[in-house]
Amino acid sequence: VRDYAKPGDLVVARGTLKQGSFEKDGEKVYTVDLNCDDFSILASAKPDTSETDEADTAPETQKQTAKRK
């Protein structure tokens, strides 16, 4: 995902969730892992344009799909 998406991009991921847990410093820590089968970028993040009125700039929509190798 990091090769395609930037921070702030709207992304949807499809896959399976796996719950787990482990002990750290005597306390139980719970985890949820996503095994991603594919993802799509729904919208790119807006560039930082402090001089531009937000109402005049709509986010550009694009869709990219990457399959796991």
Please report whether residue 10 resides in a domain.
yes
Please report whether residue 54 resides in a domain.
no
Please report whether residue 51 resides in a domain.
no
Please report whether residue 55 resides in a domain.
no
The answer to whether the predicted template modeling score (pTM) of the entire model surpasses 0.85 is no
Enclosing H/E stretch for 35? strand 27-43
Expressed as residue numbers, the domain containing 66 is 1-46+60-69
Counting the structural domains of the chain, the total is: 1
pLDDT in 10s for each residue of the chain, 69 residues: 778 889 999 999 999 999 999 999 999 999 999 999 999 999 998 776 555 444 444 455 555 555 555
